[in-house]
Amino acid sequence: MSTDLHPYSALTPDTIMDAVESLGFYCDHRLYPLNSYENRVYQVGIENSAPLIAKFYRPKRWSAAQIQAEHDATLALKAAGVGVAAPMLIRGKSLFQHKGFYFSLTPKIVGEAPEPGNLDQLFQIGELIGAMHQASADWQIEQRPYIPHSQRIERASNVVLQSSYLPSSLRVDYVKVVEMLQLRVQQTLKAHANNAIRFIHGDCHRSNLIAHDGTLTLLDFDDCRMGYAVQDLWLHISDANEKRAQLSELIEGYESHCDFDTRELDLIDVMMADRTIVYTAWIAERWSDPAFPTIFPHFASEGFWLQHLQDLNEVLAHWGQWR
């Protein structure tokens, strides 16, 4: 696909500033793109005021109702005292539209991502996730339902197999390892059929957290949905050799607010398989976005896919070792 046909080609600096100014702000022409692959996010300078963060949602990914469900969740969490970045309410609304783009504004939060493996910060992260789960314990978000991991893996692996990126010489090996993983996934999910499905952030890793003056703020609820509690914890494990100590801190912090069912640790393997396969399919689906070949230059190389197969086999080889 030609880059000029990609929907973000219409998101020019003038369009960004016009969108922000349509809500009554005056831009000072300072625009800084922030690290976001799926959407487009900018720090926008505002005359005589602090900068704002403008998020422009990827067209056709979410409906207005699904985005609003995300906004309503973060606003409710913030109102409950949970440390989350919520969109601004302007004339009673948080979601706006300009020239075909849904967008929102959020105050800029100063800070940096937590340090990987820092046990004190892992305890704090567990506390924050526990507070979020406590505040949302009885939520049912119909617009963001739970999608079984086996279903997500099936869809994603089909995307990969139907693409031209997986080398033909590796297709048999890919199909074989995905089939073995799917069997393990289905067996594990069946064994945990009684575990609770609840509201989760859905993409809770250190890059979606900001630490400042000893406090943490959770960002970017774009992937929030119904799911298992452990989904919001396991991505903070930064070292397989230290996983027990790191999990211990996360869970101890979490249980300051919520009980944690340690049987859910078995589901981490399911989530690792899901994330590894879905992430690769996501790149394949987004390859026409001109940002993606720049960010993932080796995606179309055989080396990328050999590493991907190795990663999948590693998940399989270490299955069932989380407790």
241 belongs to an annotated ligand binding site: no
Catalytic residue (one of 4, 173, 220, 274): 220
In this structure, the number of other CB atoms found within 10 A of the CB of residue 123 comes to 18
Catalytic residue (one of 14, 72, 138, 203): 203
State the DSSP string of 117-181: T-HHHHHHHHHHHHHHHHHTTT---TTS----HHHHHHHHHHHHHHSS-S-GGGHHHHHHHHHHH
The per-residue pLDDT string of the chain (323 residues; one tens digit each, 9 = 90 and over) reads 333 457 788 999 999 999 999 999 999 999 999 988 899 999 999 999 999 999 999 999 999 999 999 999 999 999 999 999 999 999 999 999 999 999 999 999 999 999 999 999 999 999 999 999 999 999 999 999 999 999 999 999 999 999 999 999 999 999 999 999 999 999 999 999 999 999 999 999 999 999 999 999 999 999 999 999 999 999 999 998 999 999 999 999 999 999 999 999 999 999 999 999 999 999 999 998 988 999 999 999 999 999 999 999 999 999 999 98
Q: If you ran DSSP here, which 8-state letter would residue 93 be given?
A: B
Query: pLDDT value at position 36?
Result: 86
Query: pLDDT value at position 1?
Result: 33
Are the C-beta atoms of 77 and 257 separated by less than 8 Å? Answer: no
The domain limits of the chain are: 3-107, 119-317
Instruction: Decide if 3-107 and 119-317 have a common fold.
Output: no
* CATH no., domain 3-107: 3.30.200.70
Are the C-beta atoms of 206 and 113 separated by less than 8 Å? Answer: yes
195 belongs to an annotated ligand binding site: no
CATH 3.90.1200.10 for domain 119-317: yes
Q: Which two tokens stand for residue 34?
A: 């922030």
| Catalytic-residue membership of 203 | yes
Torsion angle defined by CA atoms of residues 240, 245, 248 and 252, in that order, rounded to the nearest 10 degrees:
-130
Q: Helix 149-162 and helix 171-191: axis angle, to 10°?
A: 170
Tell the burial category of 79 from Cβ atoms under 10 Å away from its Cβ (0-12, 13-18, 19+). exposed
Report the largest interatomic distance among the alpha carbons of the chain, rounded to a whole angstrom: 60
